[in-house]
């Protein structure tokens, strides 16, 4: 999976779980036969929602991924304490919940420790207005993309070179540097 899609997916999972725990705390407690613990479930939901929002909105994702791992450890410890409670019908739900949280914990650990999860930010060559800080023309990129297999010679006439750069600009979806300089 893409290094940027996994944290984003985990962020949406956190938001969904958090909203579910906040909204249906009594029902979750009833299902697991843990009456009187709706406040704990809501607190877990608030933590999950906060972590999800952090993953989706903050450029530095690794701390939020480790926050998910810490939250999973808390969830597992709380679920572990409920496994010894009597109630055959709820025991199946408790065991299934524990297995599900354990699986999610493994995914969270993988995502948090993956070396390729980096800070999500704009490339360094973009300025605040969204245009390139330096012109991409002259980098050789336009000639490479716009050349259509032709070798680029130093004697190429300026009109042909300009046409190739415009073609490359369109293919790559790059902004026109001339209109960017006029806006400034």
CB atoms within 10 A of CB 12: 12
Q: Is 126 helix (H, G, I), strand (E, B) or coil?
A: strand
Question: In this predicted model, what pLDDT tens digit does every residue of 45-92 receive, in sequence order?
Answer: 999 999 999 999 998 889 999 999 999 999 898 888 877 777 667 778
Whether the predicted pLDDT of 100 surpasses 60: yes
Q: What is the DSSP letter of 121?
A: -
Report pLDDT for 161: 79
Domains of the chain by residue range = 5-113, 123-184
Widest CA span in the chain: 86
For the beta carbon of residue 34, count every other beta carbon within 10 angstroms.
Answer: 18
User: Which among 47, 180, 65 has a CA at the least distance from the CA of 120?
Assistant: 65
Is 183 or 11 the better-scoring residue by pLDDT?
Answer: 11
The two counts, helices (H) then strands (E), for the chain are 8, 0
The residue whose two tokens read 């055959």 is: 88
Query: Average of pLDDT values for 94-121?
Result: 81
| pLDDT computed for residue 116 by the predictor | 63
Cross-strand partners of 132: 126
pLDDT at residue 183 greater than cutoff 80: no
Percentage of residues in the chain with pLDDT exceeding 90? 35
Each residue's pLDDT tens digit, 112-146: 988 765 454 444 544 444 455 445 455 555 455 55
How does residue 177 score in pLDDT terms, banded at 50, 70 and 90?
Answer: low
Q: pLDDT tens digits, residue range 150-167?
A: 444 555 677 787 788 778
Q: How far apart are CA 9 and CA 107, in angstroms?
A: 11
Nearest to 64 by CA among 124, 9, 27, 1: 9
Mean pLDDT value of segment 14-37: 90
């Amino acid at each position: 999976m893409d290094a940027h899609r996994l944290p984003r997916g985990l962020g949406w999972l956190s938001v969904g779980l958090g909203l579910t725990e906040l909204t249906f705390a009594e029902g979750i407690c009833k299902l697991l036969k843990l009456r009187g613990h709706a406040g704990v479930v809501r607190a877990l939901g608030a933590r999950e929602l906060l972590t999800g929002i952090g993953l989706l909105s903050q450029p530095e994702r690794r701390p939020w991924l480790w926050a998910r791992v810490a939250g999973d450890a808390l969830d597992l410890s709380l679920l572990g304490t409920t496994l010894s409670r009597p109630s055959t019908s709820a025991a199946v739900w408790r065991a299934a919940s524990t297995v599900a949280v354990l699986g999610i914990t493994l995914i969270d650990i993988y995502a948090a420790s993956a070396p390729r999860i980096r800070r999500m930010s704009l490339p360094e060559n973009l300025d605040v207005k969204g245009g390139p800080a330096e012109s991409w023309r002259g980098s050789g990129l336009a000639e490479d993309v716009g050349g259509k297999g032709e070798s680029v010679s130093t004697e190429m006439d300026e009109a042909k070179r300009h046409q190739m750069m415009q073609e490359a600009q369109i293919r790559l979806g790059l902004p026109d540097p001339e209109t960017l300089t006029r806006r400034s």
